[in-house]
Structure 1
């Protein structure tokens, strides 16, 4: 397309592109915007190298040689970017990023920006939904590297799960690169690699003594526990006495894993250490979690160790949500003339023109709606009643008197440089958490969530519909 623009003499045409999405993911009513920092890094480094040009010459031999001179000089120096801050809760039709600049350059940026935002926002949104479901007190850990979409996908998932509300990751490289707390346990293979207590170089009598004491309390027979598993737990405890968290389901959780773990926990306690908890990776996680908690409580009461009641239980058996539809980006303005996409499906009609978006809040600090208006309009005023309308349904309109008005856009790129510093990953995580708290609970609930309102001003409504009628073909009946 860039070559076609160049051939048509449209190299200097000024364009405005919006990056937005049409439908909320995961059958919910919100999304978390992520990937902005990577978009800004991409803009900072956008250019075509000599090797890029040489390759393009090979696959496009018919192209006018002067085009390669034009392409080799392209960068983002004439591009400006405004965006909603990364981590904000966002909604369909609301432009997440607004790009302005030469039409061919903006077109070349489109695919990469979509790629950087799509996956990041999906993972962060999914993580936020997990956080809402789990509540604030439960720890969420990301263990997805083994099944991730390659190494880059694995790193991105760790990063954006953390933004969305997870507490840590098993991905050590993500911990190194992004400062995410690293958490982990041993695998089933670790348990399978041991078979006998004879492999332990140390005193095992204390642990065996505790196992004999607690087995009757847990209604476990002496020969039901697996000695290799006990050996593995002891070996792991010797290596990590201050952070021991054992995987219980290699054999039987109730008849082997739980008593073996608790025997090790009591032995460690005698040496001044406390285990962290257990992990369950298969079976009926709810039932097994309850049985583990019952076992913790029994042993805590029997041995006078109340801290055992507080041991954590980690569940890690393919806990996920359905995949979703991709974000979309559409061209909305060229040389100051608004452009719109027409469709038989109203949901696929974009909102034309260069726009601003304001979030209006109620007296209790909760978001009422997002208001889209043309950049030429005056912003809404706190305490002043304003008419808001559904973009396409003429009868849906209301007056709103906001107690707080927030312009969602910040200028991040212009004059070939960053205009704002990056938020740290920890800061973005907090932004996401704070932004979610501004939504009513019925919008965030999993079952039949209430749609959040995205409205337009009266002027934007008439502008949209006048342009719609201007470009829509008039049929003829016969």
Structure 2
């Protein structure tokens, strides 16, 4: 099946093709594909699973993200002449030329992808994706699919933890582009932070591609670039209703500053004129969006006073300023003082809206500092998070893996000296068991051919990581976690926008019991094997042990 032409692709699909071409993979994928091809095994039907072994950040859950891009990647997967010529140059010169002809004709028309819905809460060892198709093709997909899922799921999960730490009443602004691991890392972080629960991004390209609300005001450099009110130009601004002549904003602001200083008992001599000039200039440029950073010098002695003077001038002209940003020092203490001054101005100047101006806090915020912020008195409405969100400083990788579980209808299993690295063989169905209160309490892995568990009926299963003893459980509800999303070269499941997936995340998290959502020392969620799958694992282990003994004896 031919891939859609670039003319028929939207900006998201073009972005995926540019960022994730089929050469964005490890060289050994091609060397293995060639060996399969030489052996005549390249068309054998194989099944791989994608999963992670441990929940990230020592937490109780993860969020699955990246499926949207995986589907667009599969739909557009094909090698160009230029791709094939480069592969000729890096593979050994003894490589059969017919292999390159084979590569030129490859696509994903024979691949079927079954997947958990994007935005779903997931747990360690649960297969997120099952990829079935010709052995050579599904082998070549490994690295790209892992690349698309690993970081997206990690940063989405990190964002969800920040959201839980912040609580529902506070807005979160993602502002990590400058600290991200390259342009693509920054764009991915903005997208999946929003999906994970952030409200806004500073990343303009993310707003363009994904429809994420964009926010931002000024940096300290804008403030420190001014030294005098003489640098302000223009110096006038028309009233919001357009009536009358433009007003001299500098004169108006100077008058307001004197009144503010008298109200607060402040010392005018400590006020920075350059900072005032910066605020006046910015307010004239954006009278409806005035939200400056007020800690370039001193919040209490200069920044807050200058802001109030300019903001009151904007109210005088019929505009409504937005608020302030604090970016250093004790954010909680400063925000309380700022709100106190806002209330005084609101009462003294009879402007009720002044009391509800927004206070934004940004200062190397981590999950820990977010939790601590909530324990202290503060008046912060919006928290901006950058480095610790996008770089996932607590854990830099989710560690998703892509493992073979079946070839030609026969289960395959990796048996490792490290039990954690052993795989669970065979094609599977994945079910989520839900209790009477509507909370998921166990994910059950079954062989695909098994009948599904039935609500209200007891079943025996074997929890992973336990002492191999069975457990009996009775679900109140049962849901099937995976569904067909790609088949015969086509996406068979609706592609969701970032906003739609964000809503799914919140719904999925709301169903999770609080003991599994705790940021510190959460209860472990149970993932278990059905009786038949457990028996299959035991048989393959036994066969492997017997085979090894046979080899040693001979």
TM range (shorter): over 0.9
**What do residues 84-139 of structure 1 show as CA deviations (whole Å, max 9, x unaligned)?**
11111111101111100111111100000000111111111111111111112211
Query: What does residue 24 of structure 1 align with?
Result: 55
Which of these residues, 229, 234, 252, is aligned with residue 275 of structure 2?
229
Whether 2:290 is the aligned partner of 1:244: answer yes
Structure 2: distance between partners of 1:236 and 1:108:
53
Which of these residues, 33, 41, 53, is aligned with residue 64 of structure 2?
33
Matches within 5 A, 1:126-275: 126-200=158-232, 201-202=235-236, 203=248, 204-275=250-321
Query: What does residue 472 of structure 2 align with?
Result: 399
- More deviation in 434-443 or 199-208? 199-208
Query: What does residue 345 of structure 2 align with?
Result: 299
Which secondary structure state, in structure 2, belongs to the residue aligned with residue 451 of structure 1? coil
Judged with a 3 Å threshold, the aligned counterparts in structure 2 of structure 1 residues 293 and 452 are, in CA distance, closer, same or farther, namely farther
- More deviation in 447-456 or 467-476? 467-476
**What do residues 383-438 of structure 1 show as CA deviations (whole Å, max 9, x unaligned)?**
22222321342355433222221111121111111111201111111011111111
Structure 2: distance between partners of 1:5 and 1:270:
77
The CA deviation at 1:217 is: 4.3
Do 1:346 and 1:392's aligned partners in 2 also have CA atoms closer than 8 Å?
no
The CA deviation at 1:303 is: 3.0
Judged with a 3 Å threshold, the aligned counterparts in structure 2 of structure 1 residues 227 and 407 are, in CA distance, closer, same or farther, namely same
The CA deviation at 1:226 is: 1.1
Do 2:463 and 2:527's aligned partners in 1 also have CA atoms closer than 8 Å?
yes
- More deviation in 31-40 or 210-219? 210-219
The CA deviation at 1:14 is: 1.1
Structure 2: distance between partners of 1:392 and 1:27:
16
Which secondary structure state, in structure 2, belongs to the residue aligned with residue 410 of structure 1? strand
Structure 1: distance between partners of 2:187 and 2:77:
22
The CA deviation at 1:28 is: 1.0
Query: What does residue 380 of structure 2 align with?
Result: none
Do 2:463 and 2:471's aligned partners in 1 also have CA atoms closer than 8 Å?
no
Structure 2: distance between partners of 1:52 and 1:395:
49
Whether 2:118 is the aligned partner of 1:46: answer no
**What do residues 210-257 of structure 1 show as CA deviations (whole Å, max 9, x unaligned)?**
222223544531111211111111211122222221111111122211
Judged with a 3 Å threshold, the aligned counterparts in structure 2 of structure 1 residues 260 and 474 are, in CA distance, closer, same or farther, namely farther
**What do residues 8-53 of structure 1 show as CA deviations (whole Å, max 9, x unaligned)?**
2211211110010011111211111111011011101111111111
Whether 2:170 is the aligned partner of 1:98: answer no
Which of these residues, 129, 137, 144, is aligned with residue 112 of structure 1?
144
Which secondary structure state, in structure 2, belongs to the residue aligned with residue 100 of structure 1? strand
Report the number of matched residues: 476
Judged with a 3 Å threshold, the aligned counterparts in structure 2 of structure 1 residues 70 and 412 are, in CA distance, closer, same or farther, namely same
**What do residues 331-379 of structure 1 show as CA deviations (whole Å, max 9, x unaligned)?**
1111111112222332222211111111111222211121111101111
- More deviation in 319-328 or 275-284? 319-328
Name the Cα RMSD after superposition.
1.8
Whether 2:60 is the aligned partner of 1:64: answer no
Query: What does residue 107 of structure 2 align with?
Result: 75
Which of these residues, 455, 467, 483, is aligned with residue 410 of structure 1?
483
Do 2:60 and 2:522's aligned partners in 1 also have CA atoms closer than 8 Å?
yes
Gaps of 5+ in 1: none
Which secondary structure state, in structure 2, belongs to the residue aligned with residue 269 of structure 1? helix
Do 1:389 and 1:396's aligned partners in 2 also have CA atoms closer than 8 Å?
yes
Query: What does residue 333 of structure 1 align with?
Result: 406
Do 2:46 and 2:133's aligned partners in 1 also have CA atoms closer than 8 Å?
yes
Query: What does residue 322 of structure 2 align with?
Result: 276
The CA deviation at 1:205 is: 2.3
Query: What does residue 335 of structure 2 align with?
Result: 289
- More deviation in 259-268 or 41-50? 259-268
Structure 2: distance between partners of 1:193 and 1:376:
70
Query: What does residue 88 of structure 1 align with?
Result: 120
- More deviation in 457-466 or 54-63? 457-466
Which of these residues, 512, 523, 540, is aligned with residue 450 of structure 1?
523
Structure 1: distance between partners of 2:271 and 2:539:
76
Which secondary structure state, in structure 1, belongs to the residue aligned with residue 95 of structure 2? coil
Matches within 5 A, 1:342-357: 342-357=415-430
Which secondary structure state, in structure 2, belongs to the residue aligned with residue 82 of structure 1? strand
The CA deviation at 1:309 is: 2.7
Judged with a 3 Å threshold, the aligned counterparts in structure 2 of structure 1 residues 105 and 194 are, in CA distance, closer, same or farther, namely same
Judged with a 3 Å threshold, the aligned counterparts in structure 2 of structure 1 residues 304 and 441 are, in CA distance, closer, same or farther, namely farther
**What do residues 312-335 of structure 1 show as CA deviations (whole Å, max 9, x unaligned)?**
222222222423332222111111
Structure 1: distance between partners of 2:543 and 2:339:
67
The CA deviation at 1:62 is: 1.5
Do 1:15 and 1:335's aligned partners in 2 also have CA atoms closer than 8 Å?
yes
Which secondary structure state, in structure 2, belongs to the residue aligned with residue 275 of structure 1? coil
Structure 2: distance between partners of 1:170 and 1:17:
38
Whether 2:458 is the aligned partner of 1:426: answer no
Query: What does residue 11 of structure 1 align with?
Result: 42
Query: What does residue 24 of structure 2 align with?
Result: none
The CA deviation at 1:169 is: 1.0
